[in-house]
Amino acid sequence: MSQQSVVQLRNVTKRIGGKTIVDSLSFDVPKGEVFGFLGPNGAGKTTTIRMMVGLISMSAGEVLVNGLSVNKQFEQAMRHVGAIVENPELYKFLTGYQNLIHFARMIPGVTRERIDEVVALVKLENRIHDKVKTYSLGMRQRLGVAQAILHKPDVLILDEPTNGLDPEGIRELRDYLRQLSKEEGTAIIVSSHLLSEMELMCDRVAVIQNGKLVDVRPVKDMVAPASGALEVAFVAEPAERAAQVVAQALPEASVSLQPGGFTAFVGYEDIPGLIRALVLADIRVYGVKAASKTLEDQFLEMTRGGQIV
């Protein structure tokens, strides 16, 4: 992944009626990254996104898109941005394809080939010539994304894109957003209050609460600690002897006995060897699973007491 930043937020602040709703947010999003903007309801995600796309003004700070200031060079900056902030505007009595042709007319240089390309990217080939009124919510949203990326933006910004989608729709969204970041190098910023989705969809996540940035971290660091050691729970009998076998095989594993088994801090690559050592020592192994904190646990800790929906 290139480290070139497509989007830069510098101390972005929004005050409304003496209340600070977004408080000096700063982060960078590089090319090709899927970046999650995670926070409980009312944290300030939508307000931040609205400032990023120039729908509302900032009280202080700056947003740069490819180095262009959203404040001072709005039109040039927006040429590199695709966004769905409110529901995408679609003509329900036209087909998906007719909708795309309509929007393409407003953007110089969009060819029929590009339209076919975006239709394939969002996997609407089979239904693109049907009327939008027959589309499911997920399909409408895909058409919205197709429309937002017609001009090959360097960044695509989606506010709560999974809202109202069923699990299948969420999985599809995740797949084509990943593909878009990979194939077109598009930086993607998605907001959500749903942790499990961010974990699967994003490379990095920024956690925001009460308008403040609590943390920005690669998802893989949230799932596995930086040392590479995972806390793994073994269900094994007899537990005491099992714990001894592991402690002998891996003295640094800090094994602790639990009812019906034990937990140990081990490298991912150590797990098969440990299972083998246990089996060779005639230990009955019933289960092995990661016991590291989930992203959800960490998020709850970070936003202690925040309203999570």
Binds ligand ATP by CB under 6 A, chosen from 1, 2, 11, 16: 16
Nearer to ligand ATP, 128 or 189 (CB): 189
Nearer to ligand ATP, 256 or 307 (CB): 307
Binders in 93-132 for ligand ATP, by CB under 6 A: none
DSSP-assigned letters across all residues of the chain = ----EEEEEEEEEEEETTEEEEEEEEEEEETT-EEEEE--TTSSHHHHHHHHTTSS--SEEEEEETTEETTTSHHHHHTTEEEESSS----TTSBHHHHHHHHHHTSTT--HHHHHHHHHHTT-TTTTTSBGGG--HHHHHHHHHHHHTTT--SEEEESSTTTT--HHHHHHHHHHHHHHHHHS--EEEEEES-HHHHHHH-SEEEEEETTEEEEEEEHHHHHS-TTSEEEEEEEEESHHHHHHHHHHH-GGG--EEETTEEEEEEEGGGHHHHHHHHHHTTPEEEEEEE-SPPHHHHHHHHTTT----
Binds ligand ATP by CB under 6 A, chosen from 7, 9, 25, 43: 43
Q: Is 307 in the site for ligand ATP (CB under 6 A)?
A: no
Burial class (CB in 10 A: 0-12, 13-18, 19+), 168: exposed
**Displacement of CA 270 from its chain's centroid (Å):** 30
User: Residue 76 in contact with residue 70, Cβ under 8 Å?
Assistant: no
For residue 124, give the nearest of 148, 144, 151 by alpha carbon: 144
Q: Is 2 in the site for ligand ATP (CB under 6 A)?
A: no
Q: Is 47 in the site for ligand ATP (CB under 6 A)?
A: yes
Binders in 242-301 for ligand ATP, by CB under 6 A: none
Number of residues located near ligand ATP, criterion CB under 6 A: 11
- Shortest separation between residue 131's beta carbon and ligand ATP, angstroms: 31
- Shortest separation between residue 15's beta carbon and ligand ATP, angstroms: 10
Q: Is 41 in the site for ligand ATP (CB under 6 A)?
A: yes
Binds ligand ATP by CB under 6 A, chosen from 25, 38, 46, 229: 46
Q: Is 21 in the site for ligand ATP (CB under 6 A)?
A: yes
Nearer to ligand ATP, 154 or 159 (CB): 159
Binds ligand ATP by CB under 6 A, chosen from 31, 45, 80, 204: 45
Stretch of 42-50, 66-74, 227-235, 297-305 contacting ligand ATP, by CB under 6 A: 42-50
End-to-end CA distance of the chain: 33
Q: Is 39 in the site for ligand ATP (CB under 6 A)?
A: yes
Calculate ∠ Cα 144-75-97, nearest 5°: 25
- Shortest separation between residue 149's beta carbon and ligand ATP, angstroms: 23
- Shortest separation between residue 89's beta carbon and ligand ATP, angstroms: 20
- Shortest separation between residue 43's beta carbon and ligand ATP, angstroms: 4
- Shortest separation between residue 286's beta carbon and ligand ATP, angstroms: 41
Q: Is 58 in the site for ligand ATP (CB under 6 A)?
A: no
- Contact mark string toward ligand ATP, 165..204, x via CB under 6 A: ----------------------------x-----------
Contacting residues toward ligand ATP, per CB under 6 A? 16, 21, 39, 41-47, 193
